[in-house]
Structure 1
Amino acid sequence: MLRSLSVLLLLSSAALADTADGEALKAMTWDQIEAEARGGTVNWFMWGGSDMINAYVSGYVADRLKAEYDITLNRVPITDAAEIVNLILSEKEAGITDAGSVDLIWINGENFRSMKQGGLAFCGHTDLLPNNALVDWDNPAIANDFGVPVDGCEVPWNTVQFAFAHDSAVVPAPPADMAALLDWIRANPGRFTYPAPPDFTGSAFLRHVFIHAAGGPDDLLGPFDPATFETVSARTWEILNEIEPFLWRGGQTYPTSITQLNELFANGEVDFSFNYDPAQFGLAVQAGSWPETTRSFGLASGTIGNTNYTLIPFNAPNKAAAMVVQNLLLSGEAQLEKAKTEVWGAAPAIEIARTSAEVQAGFAAIKGHPSVVPAAELAKAALPELQADWLIALEKGWAEKVGN
């Protein structure tokens, strides 16, 4: 992966750079920014594990950018955004302030916190995007990313909520809540596992167990509290170590990624997979990887929901073109296209009521995939994301107390 990245980084150094720096861009009108962006190239580093998402970005998005703005979109597939954060940090330490390798990144909250604290994000530009008017910034789940205020440093792309998938022909009645799931694991040795943190999805499963051990999220909201963490994490490690012998391969090894867990489910080696984006379940069925009897569900005890974003690094060489990409991604038309079940099925990050009548009609006409639990059903029991300090402590503790 790093070898392929090095080739792409060489390509990015030859990309057409904007002549205006970030502060100059923020003083421009949108028409001037679009003019500045024309002919540019945007290197967008993003998770590349879904053929359908890749097709949407390299097809619909890239085609529109080229036709309407003469912008070339170079999708750079990655497996771990943390590696790209470290790349940008190393560039900053090397004094590369306006000719970096990355123009845009699809990012999660933990990595956003690192980029914001490290001064690695291009901030203060989101109000310039015309389609920013479609975003409800009064919604705390939008305005805060894993508890960290966005502050104009990133742009929402999708909203998601964690869900589980199962084959209804194999497990017709899945567990209703976390306590029942833990009982099911003990009663069905070898048929469940989860990716080892810090895998993003495996870490999310860990947080669900942590919230269960706390008796709910109330004591975990707000800034990190060491005393609370010590008490609740001790219960968490006890639960996870107790079920470990009942996991796939007796808990002697864990999948290293959500991709590997999905393969285990596809091969019938385990009975459950899970994802922050339930639309992935429908895409897997459409691709023929998963059985048509796949169904998905939340938990009565709740599942975590959040928003994911795109971010322009502080040293992106093509900031104007990257801003045009962000604005296009926010548009009602682009959000509608990826919401179609045959394209992606992603939940929008904008307020549908603020879009055109044509776009609203398009959303109303979408029929959900039978394998994908409706977002409205999941939302009835939504859990808030914890602030990033809790995540870091949990992942470190898991490695020491469980993963060892």
Structure 2
Amino acid sequence: MKKFTLLTSGILALGLAACSQNAEKGSQDNSGNLLASDWQEVSDAAAGQEVNMYMWGGNDNINRYLDEWVAPRMKEEHGIELTRVPMNDAQDIINQLLDEKSVGKTDGSMDIVWINGENFKAAKDNGLLWGDFSGQLPNFTDYIDADAPEIAEDFGEPVDGLEAPWGQAQFVLVHDENKSPNPPKSMEELASWVKENPGQFTYPAPPDFTGSAFIRHVLYETTGGHEQYQQPAAEINDLEARFEPMWQYLNEIEPFLWREGQTYPESLTKQDQLFASGEVGLTMSYDPALAASEVLKGRFPESTRTFLLDGGTLANTHFLSIPFNSSDKAGAMVTINELLSPAAQTAKLSPENWGDLSALDLEKLSPEQRQAMTDVDLGNATLPLEELEANRLPELSADYIEIIEKGWMEHVAKE
């Protein structure tokens, strides 16, 4: 009898394992079919799903936009429960997905991830993303220019439909016009300003995204422009020599920085706190409307304004993707499609919500949709969209960024 019981249990276990494998295979087959399904089938499959959106959680405005504007609409209009899961850094998302892939986890907790740049390349190279889904989204096909360079590539890496554009970003510098009515608009002018105003300038230490972007502006201006870096870093034999003027510049201004350059803010949030308290006279952002949002919240003075460098500033697109092991891929597709709707993009543009530039092609909008976006009050601290668009510089590919961030540690931080 005892042997019979053990045998029965073994057969039951094998049966359950086989059922589990079949269910898993069926789930994988179903998710693959979504890429060939019509949109109504995707929408029907999404109803009732719970979608977890993993993203950087360090901005109150962005968090509130997702929690108070997007999530209720997803619930009411699509029956989808959207949960925002805050992460300290996009690299944490990549590390978790790598861990899950290494152990063969097929029922992951991430359904949507907010990534771009070097994190997208790492995810793509390691097979961490689901598939070519963006062309399935009605709002992508209706309102996005898929052939535009800033949409088709992410920091030089072909997107291949693995992610959908969520918004546009452009680097701006921030000042108080009452204190600095004529802010420096080139790296040469900035070096003079820093020396004339010791302790009033600093920048976030890499790998902070904004601090790293500031250093790339130094690279462009001190080494002869961005055109020479539009090829893979590995193809430039004298790259270290080309970078030398950048390191010289950063070391030249370092003794005149906040705390004499002995330490750097660990994040843009810390940098903004220094600006808000008057400890430094300039801050910076890859979000052109951040200053307007901070003025609305009473953190920055009413006299806060943003400005660009005379040679232009870096601009890029940030994207949403679906991990390879998302448990609710249909819900993820419907959610991303909704985030690309003209209504959601217009709400996102307002500094009261987020202030993020739209990813949509304005020429593809109806006159009413375009007017609604034009009517958004961006605040006095935000530059006109036309001025931003006319002064965009292309981003470097991800391979350069890793080299620059490691080089900063060696040539600036340690010296």
Q: Which category describes the TM-score, using the shorter chain as reference length? A: over 0.9
Q: Secondary structure at the match of 1:348?
A: coil
Displacement after TM superposition at 1:249 (Å): 0.3
Task: Pick the aligned partner of 1:106 from 108, 114, 125.
Answer: 114
Aligned position for 2:380: 370
The AA in structure 1 aligned to 2:382 is V
Q: Secondary structure at the match of 1:253?
A: coil
Task: Pick the aligned partner of 2:202 from 193, 196, 203.
Answer: 193
Displacement after TM superposition at 1:345 (Å): 2.4
Q: Given the alignment of the two structures, is residue 352 of structure 1 paired with residue 383 of structure 2, yes or no?
A: no
Aligned position for 1:65: 74
Q: Given the alignment of the two structures, is residue 218 of structure 1 paired with residue 227 of structure 2, yes or no?
A: yes
Aligned position for 1:6: none
Distance in 2 of aligned mates of 1:108 and 1:281: 23
1:7-26 alignment runs, 5 A limit: 19=27, 21-26=30-35
Deviations 1:103-130 (A, max 9, x none): 1111121100100111111221111111
Distance in 2 of aligned mates of 1:380 and 1:264: 30
Q: Given the alignment of the two structures, is residue 119 of structure 1 paired with residue 145 of structure 2, yes or no?
A: no
Radius of gyration: which is bigger? 2
Aligned position for 2:309: 299
Q: Secondary structure at the match of 1:44?
A: strand
The AA in structure 2 aligned to 1:126 is S
Distance in 1 of aligned mates of 2:299 and 2:44: 44
Aligned position for 2:350: 340
Q: Given the alignment of the two structures, is residue 136 of structure 1 paired with residue 153 of structure 2, yes or no?
A: no
TM-score normalised by structure 2 residue count: 0.90
Distance in 2 of aligned mates of 1:42 and 1:82: 21
Q: Given the alignment of the two structures, is residue 92 of structure 1 paired with residue 114 of structure 2, yes or no?
A: no
Displacement after TM superposition at 1:358 (Å): 2.8
Aligned position for 2:38: 29
Task: Pick the aligned partner of 2:155 from 146, 163, 166.
Answer: 146
Aligned position for 1:14: none
Q: Secondary structure at the match of 1:74?
A: strand
Distance in 2 of aligned mates of 1:195 and 1:132: 35
Alpha-carbon spacing, 1:356–1:378, altered in 2? closer, same or farther (3 Å):
closer
TM-score normalised by structure 1 residue count: 0.93
Displacement after TM superposition at 1:50 (Å): 2.0
Q: Secondary structure at the match of 1:85?
A: helix
The AA in structure 1 aligned to 2:407 is G
8 Å CA contact 1:338, 1:345 repeated in 2 = yes
Displacement after TM superposition at 1:19 (Å): 4.3
Alpha-carbon spacing, 1:226–1:396, altered in 2? closer, same or farther (3 Å):
farther
Alpha-carbon spacing, 1:228–1:101, altered in 2? closer, same or farther (3 Å):
farther
8 Å CA contact 2:292, 2:378 repeated in 1 = no
Distance in 2 of aligned mates of 1:310 and 1:399: 30
Aligned position for 2:181: 172
8 Å CA contact 1:332, 1:356 repeated in 2 = no
Displacement after TM superposition at 1:185 (Å): 1.2
Q: Given the alignment of the two structures, is residue 231 of structure 1 paired with residue 245 of structure 2, yes or no?
A: no
The AA in structure 1 aligned to 2:263 is T
1:234-273 alignment runs, 5 A limit: 234-273=244-283
Displacement after TM superposition at 1:183 (Å): 1.8
Alpha-carbon spacing, 1:226–1:353, altered in 2? closer, same or farther (3 Å):
closer
Aligned position for 1:9: none
Q: Give the number of equivalent residue pairs.
A: 387
Deviations 1:129-185 (A, max 9, x none): 111121101211111100001100000011111000011111111012222112211
Q: Given the alignment of the two structures, is residue 45 of structure 1 paired with residue 54 of structure 2, yes or no?
A: yes
The AA in structure 1 aligned to 2:298 is G
Distance in 2 of aligned mates of 1:292 and 1:370: 9
Displacement after TM superposition at 1:77 (Å): 1.4
My pick for the range that moved more, 349-358 or 119-128, is: 349-358
Distance in 1 of aligned mates of 2:362 and 2:228: 34
Displacement after TM superposition at 1:305 (Å): 0.6
Q: Secondary structure at the match of 1:291?
A: coil
Distance in 2 of aligned mates of 1:100 and 1:302: 41
Displacement after TM superposition at 1:352 (Å): 2.2
For structure 2, which runs of at least 5 residues remain unmatched after alignment?
Answer: 1-23
Q: Given the alignment of the two structures, is residue 83 of structure 1 paired with residue 97 of structure 2, yes or no?
A: no
Q: Secondary structure at the match of 2:413?
A: coil
1:359-398 alignment runs, 5 A limit: 359-398=369-408
8 Å CA contact 1:65, 1:73 repeated in 2 = yes
Q: Given the alignment of the two structures, is residue 319 of structure 1 paired with residue 340 of structure 2, yes or no?
A: no
Deviations 1:205-232 (A, max 9, x none): 1111111121111111121134342122
Q: Secondary structure at the match of 2:259?
A: helix
Aligned position for 1:158: 167
Distance in 2 of aligned mates of 1:326 and 1:50: 20
CA RMSD of aligned residues (A): 1.5
Q: Given the alignment of the two structures, is residue 276 of structure 1 paired with residue 286 of structure 2, yes or no?
A: yes
Alpha-carbon spacing, 1:212–1:228, altered in 2? closer, same or farther (3 Å):
farther
8 Å CA contact 2:292, 2:381 repeated in 1 = yes
Distance in 1 of aligned mates of 2:368 and 2:177: 37
Aligned position for 1:13: none
8 Å CA contact 1:295, 1:371 repeated in 2 = yes
Distance in 2 of aligned mates of 1:141 and 1:342: 26
For structure 1, which runs of at least 5 residues remain unmatched after alignment?
Answer: 1-16
Aligned position for 1:181: 190
